[in-house]
Amino acid sequence: MAGRFLVVNFKAYQQAFGPQAVEIAREASRLESRLPVRVILAPPAPLLGRVLEAHGDVYLQHVDPVGFGAHTGRLPVAAAAMLGVRGSMVNHSERKMVLRDVEAAVRALREAGLESLVCADTPGEAAAAAYMGPTMIAVEPPELIGTGVPVSRAKPEVITASLEAVRRVDPSIPLLAGAGITSPEDAVRAVELGASGVLVASVVMKSREPPLVLRGLAEALATA
Amino acid sequence: MAGRFLVVNFKAYQQAFGPQAVEIAREASRLESRLPVRVILAPPAPLLGRVLEAHGDVYLQHVDPVGFGAHTGRLPVAAAAMLGVRGSMVNHSERKMVLRDVEAAVRALREAGLESLVCADTPGEAAAAAYMGPTMIAVEPPELIGTGVPVSRAKPEVITASLEAVRRVDPSIPLLAGAGITSPEDAVRAVELGASGVLVASVVMKSREPPLVLRGLAEALATA
Amino acid sequence: MAGRFLVVNFKAYQQAFGPQAVEIAREASRLESRLPVRVILAPPAPLLGRVLEAHGDVYLQHVDPVGFGAHTGRLPVAAAAMLGVRGSMVNHSERKMVLRDVEAAVRALREAGLESLVCADTPGEAAAAAYMGPTMIAVEPPELIGTGVPVSRAKPEVITASLEAVRRVDPSIPLLAGAGITSPEDAVRAVELGASGVLVASVVMKSREPPLVLRGLAEALATA
Amino acid sequence: MAGRFLVVNFKAYQQAFGPQAVEIAREASRLESRLPVRVILAPPAPLLGRVLEAHGDVYLQHVDPVGFGAHTGRLPVAAAAMLGVRGSMVNHSERKMVLRDVEAAVRALREAGLESLVCADTPGEAAAAAYMGPTMIAVEPPELIGTGVPVSRAKPEVITASLEAVRRVDPSIPLLAGAGITSPEDAVRAVELGASGVLVASVVMKSREPPLVLRGLAEALATA
């Protein structure tokens, strides 16, 4: 039961910038206090302050592997530490970096005392991520992202092969499943395959009642 | 006297994420209310909320020419409108885009009722920017950025040639001068050359007393 | 009649790597010797040698603004000079660079005694290119490239506005029209609008008889 | 003794475009015929023809994961097959791609009947490459490239950890060592550590007698 993770990537959906952002944060806070599940939210950078007021378990969607300085439109890891977030997503399918920058970001986050969630398209990329020693890895076949076709049904072998690949390097790193997760059953199925949780986006952000959907997923993960 | 502009790019300096951000915003608000100078601040995205509480005249440092949707670590123009900012910088020397993306960003900002400040390295790039009909253009020789060697002294011909280039296309677009501006005298000199104001960063952000430096620049621009 | 240009971008069409490459080169050589038209060919880099044996008027499709040295998979301008080409295309719609790299490439080509053909999407980009002093500029609305809908019919105003924009900066720079040119009439129409020639690709490369198509275009340009 | 590899990346050194290119190719051909070592040359794209006339074992320095078509300044995998090369380097330190493009290139090369040599900075990247099933992998710590400080002396643990990482995935994939190899002894040491050969560049390309240096390396590998 320990070590279940529900990560919500707000992406740049319209709802990510509206009142839903805080509603989701409040529900996440309630869920985290009563269930053995970490509910990590990744809002757009301008919403960090508002979301952090309601829920402390927040990640950036992306961080730049640079130090403080003359960088316009970039967010250094050291700044992330000042903002009160717990960590950052790195290398999301929609924000891919060359591997050496992924590695630099993971290292800088660790040195700043922050967590890192590295996204991978494939078992091979998950293996590469494992060598970097991130806090967590999420595997998401990009062709399923946003489709509503859950990876845990359509490509369970991607989850199991990624688990195998990560375990060979470091069995202590939790692996999350992502892409197409649209129901509590999909999340349960991912856990049954060996995942430590799920990374979701549209299923929460584009629903009419995001807090309700969030609760359903968290409760399913708690009892899986 | 009308149409004087002082734009402060906070970049990713450490001070941009600390208490100085709000101190600068408060001073900017006071200055804008008593002087015939617009004082526009461009803080890092996570600081937008805090800065906007103290000063209404805020730009993004960068905006992505995309719509709402499945974009991780990106900020769509339409989201900018929801955040209460007045506009965005586009194509800063440290965040260059290919020209067609610059054009797409300027158009999207205009359609969202927002302002745009397009940065250019050279008179030629300033001319290209003028064809897009942005709110303002800033010319900054990249080799002088952050040096303390002011463009208005070291390369006045870049300012005058840019003015000439922009005027040929649309004489109503204000041109700001940037790069190496370190004193009120540099700002005055830029105005004497024909600029409508200045774009600064390190001179304010890295000073011991940012509000004081800001005031000096604004007062100089007001009386130039 | 002087200063008519027919530029053929071979792109990466299959025919660019086959026997057609040399057939086109031979016909180009014949045409250039009997018509007052420069016929410039831009084959893929591995075909340069074969094409140059049959026709001396050859451009690279792209050049990297770097010097000789430790660059893998890049082609420095100085190497272009050693290869016997006359110049290079720069900033093609399918190989866009940020403006400062376009400028660096044009300058390096000039310093190496080579010609440059800068591609532009819009009149504004053409103006920016003109400030760099290239040998030629080609304007190609990217939405028409490869469509068979000729810019000279569908968007003649792009050609005339680009001519106007370039003339304001330097009236001596020839402007070519590109995108969707599929017949000698389209080429003639471009010249009637004021262009000095055309930049074509698919109409030649994807035809059953490339040399014949090339001849038709060259003859039309010669008499327009 | 079987399966020894000596790969020479010509990069964009001036010598890569001069008469040395063919001299190296001739020596490579002689060496391959008398020693149990494959000597693979990776010249710049415009030199492919000249090098192939003297030596059949040639790789591209880089290939683009695209098909034939409207791509300017790009080299599709299918074109590589038409050019007579045996394969291509992929993801060299100076031409990094995001991992999904590396994977697409390796797959396309395999489907075209061509070989692939994937470069990796670290054991983790080598592991990721192994999952793609390339013909070979080369590990090169980028901080040593071109320094003359050989990886086999300065960072032998990178070679051994990469071997271990690759073997866990697929022990049949040969691993080459690169970066800073400057003498036959460095090459021998790499083989003693378990590598199947070396990837070199400046030691051959920038020497006064490239064929002589090449011979020394090949003979050392043959007897290691």
Q: Which of residues 27-86 of A touch D (CB under 8 A)?
A: none
- Chain C residue with CA closest to B96: the answer is C98
Active site residues of C: 92, 140
Q: Is the pLDDT of residue B2 over 70?
A: no
Residues of B in contact with A18 (CB under 8 A): 82
Say how far apart CA D73 and CA C42 lie, in whole Å. 10
pTM for the model stands at 0.90
Of the candidates B55, B58, B57, B8, the one whose C-alpha atom is nearest the C-alpha of residue B29 is: B55
Active site residues of A: 92, 140
Of the listed B62, B92, B103, B115, which one is catalytic?
B92
Residue B64: predicted pLDDT: 92
Residue C180: predicted pLDDT: 84
- Interface check for D141 against chain A (CB to CB < 8 A): the answer is no
CATH number of the structural domain spanning residue D117: 3.20.20.70
CA distance A62 to chain D (A): 16
Active site residues of D: 92, 140
Looking at this predicted complex, what is its ipTM?
A: 0.91
User: Domain range holding D175?
Assistant: 4-223
DSSP one-letter string for C23-78: HHHHHHHHHHHHSSEEEEEE--GGGHHHHHHH-S-BEES--BS--SBS-TT--BHH
Say how far apart CA A61 and CA A49 lie, in whole Å. 14
- B/e letters for C101-133, b = 16+ CB within 10 Å, e = fewer, are bbbbbbbbbbebebbbbbbbbbbbbbbbbbbbb
Residues of D in contact with C79 (CB under 8 A): 12, 14, 16-17, 44, 46
Q: Please report, for residues A159, A179, D129, the alpha-carbon distance to residue A164 in angstroms, rounded to integers and kept in the order given.
A: 9, 19, 16
Residues of B in contact with A89 (CB under 8 A): 72-73
CA distance C58 to chain D (A): 13
- B/e letters for A16-34, b = 16+ CB within 10 Å, e = fewer, are bbeebbbbbbebbebbbee
Say how far apart CA D85 and CA D87 lie, in whole Å. 6
**B115 counts as catalytic:** no
- Interface check for B201 against chain A (CB to CB < 8 A): the answer is yes
Instruction: Give C37-80 pLDDT, tens digit per residue.
Output: 999 999 999 999 999 999 999 999 999 989 999 999 999 999 99
Asked if D121 lies within 8 A of A99 by C-beta distance, the reply is yes
Give the distance between the most distant pair of CA atoms in chain D.
48
Query: Cα B136 to the chain's mean position, in Å?
Result: 8
Q: What is the CA radius of gyration of chain C?
A: 16
Q: Is the pLDDT of residue B122 over 80?
A: yes
- Chain B residue with CA closest to A142: the answer is B70
| 3-state class (DSSP) for residue D10 | coil
Q: Does chain D reach chain B with at least 3 CB pairs under 8 Å?
A: no
Q: Is the pLDDT of residue C152 over 90?
A: no
CA distance C104 to chain B (A): 12
pLDDT block averages, 10 residues each, chain A of length 224: 85 95 97 96 96 96 93 93 96 92 94 96 92 94 80 86 93 92 92 94 95 96 91
Going residue by residue through chain D (224 aa), what tens digit of pLDDT does each one get?
Answer: 357 999 999 999 999 999 999 999 999 999 999 999 999 999 999 999 999 999 999 999 999 989 999 999 999 999 999 999 999 999 999 999 999 899 999 999 999 999 999 999 999 999 999 999 999 999 988 888 778 788 788 888 989 999 999 999 999 999 999 888 889 999 999 999 999 999 999 999 999 999 999 999 999 999 98
Residues of D in contact with C95 (CB under 8 A): 72-74
* Domain count within chain C: 1
Say how far apart CA D178 and CA A109 lie, in whole Å. 29
- Interface check for B93 against chain A (CB to CB < 8 A): the answer is yes
Residues of C in contact with D72 (CB under 8 A): 9, 11-12, 61-62, 89, 92-95
